[in-house]
């Protein structure tokens, strides 16, 4: 038993997915990455099992809209996070509060298969974010003005059928790569020379595999 305990506490990477109900009362303290996906996730009231993971740099979490919203609203995610993926949410239209802003180490943020997500609050993204991706967020429509942080280097959209505009006047000058795929409304917009001129300053633009370098 002691040997098994030592092995568990030394664990650095963990995947917990496709589990109908998941109760997180303890997580190995040295975890560097964890993938959690379940339709019902229970964590302690204070979220301590996640907050105490001071070496955790990569987190993928999804399946349970309520727990994801709680973690963001109550700022219960570990400050050490560098990469965060929020996925497989079926109800959440937006986020409550600004629970991402306090993640000062976060550099990469992804939203994958969040089917009801329509937008993000204006003051929700951390100021040092470098990479932002939305994939299969089919109801995503728009962004608030000045939502994108001035540190952003890469912005990517895939299969976001309703997205109409990127708020071009708010695109930070640091953006080096813009990727758009299977976003018909957005693609049609940039077929127009008028709207293309609003993004032409971005060094690399990739739309459905076609790359434009300026």
DSSP secondary structure, 166-214, as one string:
--GGG--TT--EEEEES-HHHHHHTTSHHHHTTTTTSSEEEETTEEEE-
If one counts the domains in the chain, the total is: 2
Residue with structure tokens 């306090």? Answer: 102
- In a shared domain, residues 19 and 82: yes
- Predicted TM-score (pTM) of the model is 0.92
- Which residue in 31, 24, 25 sits closest to 8, CA to CA? 31
111 Cβ contact list (under 8 Å, min separation 6): 85, 86, 87, 117, 133, 134, 135, 137
- In a shared domain, residues 35 and 105: yes
Structural domain contains residue 123: no
Per residue of the chain (214 residues), what is the pLDDT tens digit? 444 445 678 889 999 988 888 888 788 889 999 999 999 988 775 555 788 889 999 999 999 999 999 888 888 899 999 999 999 999 999 877 677 888 999 999 999 999 999 988 888 899 899 999 999 999 998 887 788 999 999 999 999 999 988 888 889 999 999 999 999 999 999 988 888 999 999 999 999 999 999 8
- In a shared domain, residues 52 and 139: no
- Its domain, for residue 208, covers 130-214
- In a shared domain, residues 65 and 112: yes
Per-residue pLDDT at 47? 53
- In a shared domain, residues 213 and 173: yes
Structural domain contains residue 122: no
Residue pair 91/65 in contact (Cβ under 8 Å)? The answer is yes
Structural domain contains residue 109: yes
- In a shared domain, residues 143 and 208: yes
- In a shared domain, residues 21 and 103: yes
- In a shared domain, residues 16 and 112: yes
- In a shared domain, residues 86 and 15: yes
Structural domain contains residue 100: yes
- In a shared domain, residues 46 and 94: yes
Among 55, 84, 116, the domain boundary falls at 116
Structural domain contains residue 40: yes
Structural domain contains residue 121: no
| C-alpha dist (Å) from residue 176 to 110, 183, 203, 205 | 18, 20, 5, 8
- In a shared domain, residues 141 and 202: yes
- In a shared domain, residues 96 and 144: no
């Amino acid at each position: 038993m002691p040997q098994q305990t030592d092995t568990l506490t030394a664990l650095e990477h963990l995947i917990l997915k496709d589990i109908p109900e998941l109760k997180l009362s303890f997580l190995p303290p040295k975890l560097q990455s964890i993938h959690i996906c379940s339709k019902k996730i229970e964590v302690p009231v204070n979220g301590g099992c996640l907050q105490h993971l001071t070496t955790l740099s990569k987190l993928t979490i999804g399946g349970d809209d309520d727990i994801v919203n709680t973690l963001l609203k109550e700022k219960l995610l570990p400050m050490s996070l560098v990469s965060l993926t929020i996925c497989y949410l079926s109800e959440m239209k937006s986020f409550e509060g600004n629970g991402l802003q306090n993640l000062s180490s976060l550099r990469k943020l992804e939203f994958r298969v969040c089917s009801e997500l329509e937008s993000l609050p204006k003051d929700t993204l951390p100021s040092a974010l470098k990479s932002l991706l939305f994939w299969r967020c089919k109801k995503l429509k728009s962004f608030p003005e000045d939502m994108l942080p001035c540190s952003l280097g890469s912005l990517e959209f895939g299969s976001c059928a309703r997205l109409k505009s990127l708020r071009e006047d708010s695109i930070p000058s640091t953006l080096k790569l813009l990727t758009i795929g299977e976003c018909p409304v957005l693609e049609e917009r940039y077929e127009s020379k008028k709207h293309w001129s609003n993004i032409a300053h971005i060094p690399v633009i990739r739309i459905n595999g076609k790359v434009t370098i300026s």
